[in-house]
Amino acid sequence: MKIVIAGGSIAGLSSALTLGCIGHDVHVYERSDVPLRGKGGGVAVLRHMMKFLEQHGHYTQHMISVPTIMRRRIDINGDVLTEEPEKLPFSSWDTVYRSLCAMLPKDRISYGQEVVGFTEHDKGIEIDLDRGESVSADILVAADGIGSRTRAKLFPNYESRFAGYVAWRGIVDESAFSPQEVEALVNNFTMFRDPGHMFMAFLIPGLDGSLAPGRRRFNWLWYRNEADVAAMHRHLTDDHGHQHHASISPGHLSTESFEELCELATRHLPVTFQQLVRETRAPFFQSIFDALSPSFSVGRVALIGDAACTVRPHTASGTSKAADDAVALAEALSSNTEFHVEQVLALWAASRREAVGRLLVKGPELAASFGLGSTDT
């Protein structure tokens, strides 16, 4: 079949790889004019995504991730409150994305083109692109993120729900500090918690994928309860005055928001974390939303990744869920040959919606245990 994928991020690329491997004619349309370099932060590369990468491109864990040795919780003075062994492989969104890009033939993706609409008919689906062109396909896979335009067309009355807290995020080069300044953070997953907020930091590969000491980067996240929706919208307004739905990407945070971030860090964080914030050149901001599409498919359209549902970041499962969506879709399309395509997608959608149920429950539970978010989530 001919399959069009809307969105060339991790979910879209994962689907392109799996569907291409079983013989489908797959093409990805990504609205960005260039590959998505430097767009995301750190990620935990859990076994599902690691297995996916190894099966498709032999990218082993030690090639793309920086392992932690200890999980530490510190107090406002930087003293260790608790410490226990921790061996999570932390990578970066960039590294996983670059690995997927390297496996996908370059002629399978078009940059600077966005899927903006579609019309189904008896034998297929006509897909409209933002430059006035259209393409015919058998299936449209929507991998266009939490603000999915495709989901909005399918379910115009559906809205994602703000979870009651936000995340300030940043990445800073390990080389920005002397070894003595960051000695306590190297190879550790380090946390600081106070009522209503939680800060964490860990090492990830360099922007070029380097794992060498001194060439890696620190990834940090600062979750904070935010009852003032007006303040959240202020931080979601970028340096050009444009308000975004859920996040501000690196390099686009307004000067006022960055100044407020630094002031909050000085008031609320241990010194070792204050320095990470101050040295970050391009911090970014994310409002935490819960999104669960009423269905993961309608007719010849399938929704995957964040377009289908968004799990809380505490589950550390975003990339793995994207890989699982892709693999399950490929398996469904290869094994249910006696069914019509709409029936196959409906069966797959029901199965995937049930499969992510555990994560949708676990995320709010973890947030509540950290004192984050609305009490009714």
| Pairwise CA distance, residues 355 & 365, whole Å | 17
Same domain, 216 and 345: no
The radius of gyration computed from the CA coordinates of the chain, to the nearest angstrom, equals 21
Same domain, 319 and 212: no
- CA atoms within a 13 Å half-sphere pointing along the CA-CB vector of 172: 20
- Tokens 């032999």 appear where? 58
Residue 3 token pair: 């399959």
Last residue of a domain, one of 271, 289, 307: 289
The answer to whether the pTM exceeds 0.85 is: yes
The count of residues in the chain is: 377
Same domain, 168 and 252: yes
Mean pLDDT of the chain: 88
Residue 311 token pair: 């799990």
Per-residue pLDDT tens for 149-175?
999 999 999 988 889 999 999 999 999
| Pairwise CA distance, residues 305 & 325, whole Å | 7
CB atoms near residue 350 (< 10 Å): 13
Whole-angstrom CA distances from 121 to 125, 126, 263 are 6, 8, 56
Torsion angle of the four alpha carbons 99, 103, 105, 111, in this order, in degrees rounded to the nearest 10: -20
Same domain, 139 and 274: no
CB atoms near residue 375 (< 10 Å): 7
Same domain, 184 and 236: yes
Same domain, 257 and 215: yes
Mean pLDDT lowest among 87-101, 260-274, 293-307: 87-101
Can you name the residues that pair with 295 across neighbouring β-strands? none
Per-residue pLDDT tens for 325-369?
998 999 999 876 667 999 999 999 999 999 888 888 888 999 999
Last residue of a domain, one of 289, 310, 341: 289
Q: What is the DSSP string of 185-248?
A: TTTEEEEEEETTEEEEEEEE--TT---STTT-EEEEEEEEE---HHHHHHHTB-TTSPBPSSEE
Measured in whole angstroms, the distance separating CA 292 from the mean position of its chain's CA atoms is: 15
Same domain, 169 and 268: yes
- Say what percent of the chain tops pLDDT 70: 90
Per-residue pLDDT tens for 14-53?
999 999 988 999 999 999 888 776 566 766 655 556 666 6
pLDDT given for residue 139 in this prediction: 97
- pLDDT of 92 higher than 80: no
Tell me how many domains the chain contains.
Answer: 2
- How confident is residue 377, by pLDDT bands cut at 50, 70 and 90? very low
Same domain, 105 and 75: no
pLDDT given for residue 66 in this prediction: 80
| Pairwise CA distance, residues 260 & 350, whole Å | 44
Domain span at residue 248 reads 61-92+163-289
- How confident is residue 293, by pLDDT bands cut at 50, 70 and 90? very high
Last residue of a domain, one of 236, 256, 289: 289
CATH code of the domain containing 271: 3.30.9.60
Q: What is the DSSP letter of 282?
A: S
CATH code of the domain containing 343: 3.50.50.60
Of 220, 205, 217, nearest to 169 (Cα)?
Answer: 220
CB atoms near residue 337 (< 10 Å): 7
Evaluate whether residue 375 is within a structural domain. Answer: no
Evaluate whether residue 376 is within a structural domain. Answer: no
Same domain, 142 and 31: yes
Evaluate whether residue 284 is within a structural domain. Answer: yes
pLDDT given for residue 57 in this prediction: 64
* Ramachandran bin of 180, using left for φ above 0, alpha for ψ from -120 to 50, beta for the remaining angles: alpha
Same domain, 111 and 125: yes
Same domain, 124 and 249: no
Same domain, 133 and 170: no
